[in-house]
Structure 1
């Protein structure tokens, strides 16, 4: 799982001669660093595009190649560090096309604004995002032949191991999210995780015994029931655990890993099934964050994750709407729509984590999922955070929001309301909670907020609110809008969200 090796150098003048190009990222309407100002000025005399769009110009720099990568304005109210990421990515693509193998990345003009405190790191991650090639392509064609930039220098004062740890996690997240459904069928998803965490302090446990899953994860197994007809599609739960040497808090994650979502008996039609191999983006993001944890080895933060890896197949034994299924928590769930399958998987995972939470110091629970079209519609390219009362009281959504802004993995907060709980309330005494309505989330009022209410009830977390003697902070993270570039779930490149957000919030000082 190679990616461009990163080296941090203090200044351009301190860099060694092995670099074969400079990618200069910044707002060219402002002062350009003195080392490059004459080259840029002369180039602008011959080409008015210089400083307005990414270009390669001849210059007396490393390799004789200066790639101008303009960000546009950075100081307006609505500008953010993604301008840096986008520009670095655009410059990286030009560098690759030009045959560059070892560029030096220089970011300028951001020192006086707190929004850009991690600008150099975000530039490196933007470069890596632009250069990433899918796992299937790397396996078919060879990494060396299609990922040709091998080393990157970054001018700054950051820790190179931090940059590499986050990118390692983002790469795992992209691979797991973006890979086609047979190459990343449940058993092979688990195998990838085992390989990714081999020789690291993260313990990997794969639960794949069907009888055990039926007993301990009944909602998950309802989703996977029709998949049992094909052995290679059998579901599993991947448990990842990192124990800190001096743990002071514990992050506990449930990740939705639907390796293919047909919609089940509520079958997706009209071309909407294409791209549903990416419905495992939540589990992918959690595994990616855990990879960063494995690289960083934090002293005081333990992390536990359960990933529900399931195929929502259609077949004679598929679960159907109107069924009432008792969850791991003991809550009776009435199925409203089989295409609202991810929340069923998450509910059982969260219930397991709830039961275990008392064994760990200061537990904080999170669910991460490509859950609703409504989140993408309401929040656009931002991860939606829906916290419960204890999480809000402890400032968890604020912490994640602030980290996302600085580290280039932004979020927006949505609040859980009484209408959400009323929406999933039982209509009869036959059940305790309704999983969903039978319409698209994108056309349902509060379509990404009410699923958090369902998760709270179905996982047994409703008795751990602010009014409880044992409150448990919980944040639901919907990445349906942020998980792929441009919101294109069929062809868009996976973004690795929310790896960087969580890493910035909990692992970097």
Structure 2
């Protein structure tokens, strides 16, 4: 798994003296140029091209690596709404220009970015992650063309104080997340998703367990098994549950994840029509992000954490054995669920995973924090735009867990917004008869349903048995539902957009920051 190796130096001159370096990328606001040597080259270029300092451009400059400089403006960084993503975006644009120009060992320098400002204290990390995001190529393309052919940039030198091991651990996790989320549905069908995880965590401290016996799935994960029922007859599409476990040597708390891994979502019997099925191979972005975060954990091996993740890798196929609306299915927790719409399948897959994790957390002496991570609702994308939606339960709210994630996301350039669960959400998912305890969903699109990304969290609380661990219980458990439907791919383009790996950076910042 190759990506640009990071080297850090204190001064630009150290990078210039390295004979391997072959381009200089200058990122920042160019109202003032801090380096005198560079200012002369940039001013000279501005004399013939007024776009220099306003757009990302390559210019010729003597005395810098390769005699080529990419000037990558961020725009002003002092307005109310400015944030570190401007550095990420500038690095993203510059990386491709430098690589296309032939650079293989570029240098990154920040200009006019005040890293003492809280908003930009992670600017160096943002520059590196933006650089790597731009140069990432999909797994299928790497397998077909070869890494060296389509990802030729092998290292980058950063002028600034950054822990390279920490930065590359985050990028390793993001790369796993992008691979798993973005790969087409046959290459990343459930058994091959599991195979990728085995390979990604080979020779690490993470234990990988795969449950793929369908009878066992029906018994232990009955809601997930129902979603995958129509796929069982096709061996390469058969569902599985992938469990990832990391045990720190001196654990202070336990973090647990349920990841939605719908490798392809046809909508099931409530078929997606009108072109809305395209891009649904990315409906595994939540599971991908969970695996990505665990990869970062594996790279850093923190002593203070136990991390347990369960991923439901399932294809929501259509066929004679497909589950349908109106079925009543008893989940792992014993709750009876009436199916409202088969296209609301992701919450069913996560329900039993979360129920298993809830049992473990309740039996553990360690403080536990639980998450579901999913590309769950169009409503989250509509309500929050390109931001991750966080929906905490009562104990998480009292702990200010969502606020802590929000704060980490702001500083590290992986932003989220908080949505609160309300009584209306819990009323919405109540069973309507004595036959059922819960309704999985209404039968309309989430994007046109009031509180369309909040009420699924209420369903998950009920179906997983977390309603017995609220603020009124003897064993309260903090839980945050994370919906990345708006933040999971660049530009909101679910068919062609590059996966962003949200919220790997945010989670890493909160739990692993160094």
TM range (shorter): over 0.9
Q: What is aligned with 1:199?
A: 203
Cα distance in 2 for residues equivalent to 1:18 and 1:186: 43
1:429 matched to 2:431: no
Select which of 53, 65, 88 maps to 2:91.
88
SS at match of 2:250: coil
Q: How does 1:60-79 map to 2 (within 5 A)?
A: 60-79=63-82
TM-score, with structure 1 as normaliser: 0.99
Q: What is aligned with 1:119?
A: 123
Cα distance in 2 for residues equivalent to 1:360 and 1:286: 23
SS at match of 2:244: strand
Q: CA RMSD in A?
A: 0.8
Cα distance in 2 for residues equivalent to 1:336 and 1:35: 66
Q: What is aligned with 1:3?
A: 3
Deviation, 1:32, is 3.4
Q: What is aligned with 1:106?
A: 109
Q: What is aligned with 1:373?
A: 378
Q: Which runs of 5+ in 1 are unaligned?
A: none
Deviation, 1:486, is 0.5
Render the CA deviation track for 1:31-66: whole Å, top value 9, x for unaligned. 333341111111111111110001111112011011
Cα distance in 2 for residues equivalent to 1:313 and 1:34: 62
Q: What is aligned with 2:13?
A: 13
Cα distance in 2 for residues equivalent to 1:269 and 1:306: 31
Cα distance in 1 for residues equivalent to 2:174 and 2:450: 33
SS at match of 1:14: helix
Select which of 380, 396, 404 maps to 1:391.
396
Question: How many pairs align?
Answer: 509
Cα distance in 1 for residues equivalent to 2:395 and 2:127: 35
Deviation, 1:108, is 2.3
Cα distance in 2 for residues equivalent to 1:201 and 1:360: 22
Cα distance in 2 for residues equivalent to 1:328 and 1:237: 14
Deviation, 1:416, is 0.3
Deviation, 1:165, is 0.2
Deviation, 1:360, is 5.2
Q: What is aligned with 1:438?
A: 443
Bigger CA drift: 10-19 or 180-189? 10-19
Select which of 257, 261, 264 maps to 2:265.
261
Cα distance in 2 for residues equivalent to 1:154 and 1:375: 36
Name segments (4+ residues, structure 1) moved above 2 Å.
14-17, 30-35
Contact 1:253–1:366 (8 Å) recurs in 2: yes
Select which of 315, 334, 341 maps to 1:337.
341
Select which of 97, 101, 114 maps to 2:100.
97
Contact 1:250–1:360 (8 Å) recurs in 2: no
1:469 matched to 2:474: yes
SS at match of 1:154: strand
Render the CA deviation track for 1:178-232: whole Å, top value 9, x for unaligned. 0000000000000000000000001100111111111000000000000011011
Contact 2:83–2:119 (8 Å) recurs in 1: yes
Select which of 32, 35, 58 maps to 2:34.
32
Render the CA deviation track for 1:396-443: whole Å, top value 9, x for unaligned. 101110111111110000000001001111111110010000000000
Q: What is aligned with 2:136?
A: 132
Cα distance in 2 for residues equivalent to 1:99 and 1:490: 30
Cα distance in 2 for residues equivalent to 1:191 and 1:44: 52
TM-score, with structure 2 as normaliser: 0.98
Deviation, 1:302, is 1.3
Q: How does 1:91-490 map to 2 (within 5 A)?
A: 91-111=94-114, 112-357=116-361, 358-359=363-364, 361-490=366-495
SS at match of 1:13: helix
SS at match of 1:229: coil
Deviation, 1:148, is 1.3
Contact 2:30–2:112 (8 Å) recurs in 1: no
Q: Which runs of 5+ in 2 are unaligned?
A: none
Bigger CA drift: 353-362 or 484-493? 353-362
Cα distance in 1 for residues equivalent to 2:287 and 2:37: 45
Q: What is aligned with 2:511?
A: 506
Contact 1:26–1:70 (8 Å) recurs in 2: yes
Contact 1:256–1:283 (8 Å) recurs in 2: yes
Contact 2:264–2:315 (8 Å) recurs in 1: yes
Cα distance in 2 for residues equivalent to 1:34 and 1:195: 49
Bigger CA drift: 104-113 or 439-448? 104-113
Render the CA deviation track for 1:315-334: whole Å, top value 9, x for unaligned. 00000000000000000000
Cα distance in 2 for residues equivalent to 1:334 and 1:185: 27
Cα distance in 1 for residues equivalent to 2:78 and 2:190: 46
SS at match of 1:7: strand
SS at match of 2:199: helix
